[in-house]
Amino acid sequence: MIRIIDSHAHLSTEDFDKDRDQVIKRAFDSGVEKILCPTEVSDRKILSTTYSLIEKYSHITAAGGVHPHNANRYSQNLENKIRDMAQENKIVAVGEIGLDFYYNYSPPAEQKRAFQKQLALAQELKLPVIIHSRQAASDVLALIKGQNFTNGGIAHCFTENLGFAKKMMDRGFYISFSGILTYPKAHELRETAKQIPGDRLLVETDSPFLTPVPFRKKFKRNEPAFVTETTKFLAGLKKVPFETFAEKMCQNFSCLFTGS
């Protein structure tokens, strides 16, 4: 069976409470070898669910952080929680963190403060970060540079421009594409994806969001098994055989999180 990676799936959210184990089985049965589950540490229920998942499934790893939407909740207690998770080997990255100036659910100043502090924490912990950036590319770069952050990570669910992608890659980041890539109107994003070197790419679902074509009309909820379609689509854009491309995504994921 072809090995596949889902580099970002929110399996701990309530969207999967009724059938989480079945969703995970479908993913593994379809060849998904590893799933990275970002965890919102300000939500106790999500945090508890993630702990249960990583204890039950060896193929699921976690990241922990405070999302920019929840930046106004950021506190020293939450920072300590992320630190404890890292020291207990419960997370492989800090995230997802970053800036979202599209929704601005938290004020921009609060988003920047939380992002800056979590970058500093990740640098201290020698961990990569999972970056959320929406209409905030220049500020994301400025804060990464300002913190002299050097551990790299993933620019997740990438929708920014090629210039931003190149600058992130220069700082050790992988560029991860979601089901958005398969949408009919995503012409510019597809052109960007074509320009990203194969050894800097990753693929994700961002489950339960952003179901890829052809499942988008039938399934409102996305799930990790569907990452196969986005992987096939991106392999086609890159003009690389699906099997070869899927294996490269596994290698990239392993390189980022294990160094091998």
Residue extents of the structural domains in the chain: 4-258
Give pLDDT tens digits for 175-222.
999 999 999 999 999 999 999 999 999 999 999 999 999 998 888 899
The partner residues of 224 in beta bridges, in order of sequence, read: none
- Amino acid 258: pLDDT: 85
110: tokens are 């609060």
Give pLDDT tens digits for 34-81.
999 999 999 999 999 999 999 999 999 999 999 999 999 999 999 999
Q: pLDDT confidence of 260, banded at 50, 70, 90?
A: low
Integer-rounded Cα Rg, in Å, for the chain is: 17
C-beta separation of 123 from 99 below 8 A = no
C-beta separation of 226 from 182 below 8 A = no
- Amino acid 1: pLDDT: 76
Number of C-beta neighbours around residue 50 at 10 A: 27
Rounded Cα–Cα distance for residues 187 and 86 (Å): 39
**Mean pLDDT score, 161-185:** 97
Give percent helix, percent strand, percent coil of the chain, each to the nearest 5: 50, 15, 35
- Amino acid 259: pLDDT: 76
The CATH number for 4-258, chosen from 3.30.43.10, 1.10.3720.10, 2.70.240.10, 3.20.20.140, is 3.20.20.140
Give pLDDT tens digits for 230-255.
999 999 999 999 999 999 999 999 99
**Predicted TM-score (pTM) of this structure:** 0.97
Rounded Cα–Cα distance for residues 154 and 34 (Å): 15
